[in-house]
Structure 1
Amino acid sequence: MTMFRSRRRKIERLDFILAGAQKSGTTALHYFLSKHPNITMGDQQEIHFFDNDAMFVSGADYEQLHKHYPLLALSKIAGDCSPSYIYYEPVAERIWKYNPKIKLLILLRNPVDRAFAHWNMQRFKGREPLDFFDAVREERARIAGAPPGEARRFAYVDRGFYGQQLERLFKFFPREQVKVAKFEKFREHQRETLASIFSFLGCKPLRSVRSKDRNVVPYERAMNWEERIFLYNLFAEDIANVEQMLGWDCSDWKL
């Protein structure tokens, strides 16, 4: 009987995007978001609409994004998870033009650990012939002039300069529309962090949270101390910038 059917609506605009950073817990957070009864995620974990330059050559057709979503119950909000968005420069403005009221979720991880995890993932997938230290030292030359998709694949260090990436977002979106959380806190205090994220989205906390690691691949080797010192020296100034920008204590990211 139609009078008892729940009313549904076609998606007009996404309500939020989990925009980064890669290798910072976004797969796990996507899992918990998808389990919430009032949240609908797309039919692909990473749709990659806003970082696909081909979609913006002659005016964006947002139906190419919305086709990944079913009709929504009136009580539901819709979100996407594409962790490369925070890094790719044109994305912030593209999202703002799409929906200036959208909410953005960002997870940030110690950039030294993030870089090594990124390299390890590429090695695991058979995409990276170089050892970690060699890949880091060759990074600028490898990504210079490379197509965006290829450059991002090997931007182990460059993706970790969070300060400039956040500044780009804040040029378009007020702070109250951007929720930034630390990966380390999300991992150690998952229930508390999730409750804060769901509150930001206007949703009640999940009744049950079962801690799970997601998208974890075996490590080929551990990072050595020489590599860690080298990377920390690259990131130290940016880490201080992030602390000041967000009011964070990032002592756990420092040597």
Structure 2
Amino acid sequence: MQQWPNFFLIGAPKCGTTALAYYLSQHPQVLFSRPKEPHFFNDDFSYSIVESWKDYARSFSHGTGREMAVGEGSNGYLYSCRAVPNILNWVPEARFIVLLRDPVEASCSLYWYNIWEGMEDIKSFESAWHAQSARAEGRRLSRWNWKRENLQYGPMFTYSEQLDRLFNHAGRERVLVLLYDDLKEDTDAVYQQTLGFLGLEPIHLPSYERINASKKARWPVFQPILQRGLQWAGKTKRAMGWKRSLGLATRITTRHSKRPPLDPAFRAELAAYFREDVGRTGELIGRDLSGWARE
């Protein structure tokens, strides 16, 4: 029996969506897509991962047919102007889950993720930050970059406009906004809150392992080629109907490491950029975010 999603974990990037998707996939009443991020509905983006309805259907073909909650986790949907309307045209009663994080920390994390994935060729976050306008116009792009939107480190994490758009399209009652800090500090409580939002029976996982820790390429010179190869291999695997990955290539090509701290002056620049939007975001979701975007 073919199943289709009724909930969407839509972002933001580097805010804990991969971890929450993994925890949800452990619930017996949940079917979560493979891959986690099909990026099928963001047709205003420069990229997609799953490109046809046939392949999108395959993303949910590993279920039993009895799951109550069927979801996917494309973390660019919140930033996309078209993804949510496209989803609602197809699933009018869809529910949406959003995770937000201090935008200074999230934007820095996205930069280092782009470095690891081989899509970022500017070797300092500060320089990459100042190249955003040129890149939005298609200039100063690495030949290996295939996610142009991921280089917009400021707009990606100015949340208030994105939330306004989401609330206007879906209504607040079908949107759950969570914070990365809460997920990190009390993972089980956030997990129970999410299960309740989806109408699922509460369960407590034996452990909540850390997912998507900071990564660094073992061989940076070859990382762009390796990542494009993995992208191609993933599409080939899905086309052939293979459903699982052991993650061996990622483990072989990746090591974990701490990121260098931000220069204080640059951190102050980032904090000033995000501060007004942080205030508006806090008002929208009814949370005190005064600890965010501090110098």
**Fold-level match, TM-score > 0.5?**
yes
| Structure 2 residue 54 is the aligned partner of structure 1 residue 66 | no
Deviation at 1:43, TM superposition (A): 2.1
Contact 1:120 1:219 in 2 (8 A): no
- TM-score computed with the length of structure 2 as normaliser: 0.76
Superposition deviation, residue 224 in structure 1: 2.1
Q: 1:176 to 1:154 in 2, by over 3 A?
A: same
Query: Taking structure 1 as reference, are residues 62 and 127 closer, same or farther at Cα in structure 2, changes over 3 Å only?
Result: closer
1:143 aligns with 2:136: yes
Percent sequence identity over aligned pairs: 27
Runs of 5+ consecutive residues of structure 2 not aligned to the other structure? 46-50, 216-256
- Give how far 1:209 is off: 4.3
Structure 2 CA distance for aligned equivalents of residues 108 and 149 of structure 1: 24
Question: Which residue in the other structure is 2:252 paired with?
Answer: none
Q: Distance between the aligned counterparts of 1:177 and 1:79, measured in 2?
A: 14
TM-score, normalization by structure 1: 0.88
User: Match for residue 111 of structure 1?
Assistant: 103
Structure 1 letter corresponding to 2:274: F
The question of 1:25 aligning with 2:22 is answered no
User: Deviation of residue 170 (structure 1)?
Assistant: 1.2
Q: In the aligned structure 1, how far is the partner of 2:119 from the partner of 2:35?
A: 22
Q: How many residues align?
A: 241
Partner deviation per Cα, 1:101-155 (whole Å, 9 max, x = no partner): 0000100000000000001111223322221111111111112257995321211
Paired with 1:169 and 1:145, the residues of 2 have a C-alpha distance of 27
Give the distance between the partners of 2:54 and 2:94, measured in 1 at CA: 17
Rate the CA distance shift 1:91–1:137 in 2: closer, same or farther, 3 A. Answer: same
Matched, 1:132 2:132: no
Residue aligning to 1:5: none
Superposed structure 1 runs of 4+ greater than 6 Å apart: none
Query: In the alignment, which of 207, 212, 216 is matched to residue 210 of structure 1?
Result: 207
Once the two structures are TM-superposed, the CA of residue 63 in structure 1 deviates from its matched residue by 4.3
Are 1:154 and 2:148 matched, yes or no? no
> Does 2:87 align with 1:95?
yes
Q: 1:244 to 1:149 in 2, by over 3 A?
A: farther
Q: CA RMSD in A?
A: 2.1
Distance 2:170 2:290 in 1: 27
Deviations 1:33-92 (A, max 9, x none): 1101000011211111112459xxxxx974442222125433432100110110111112
Which is worse superposed, 65-74 or 196-205?
65-74
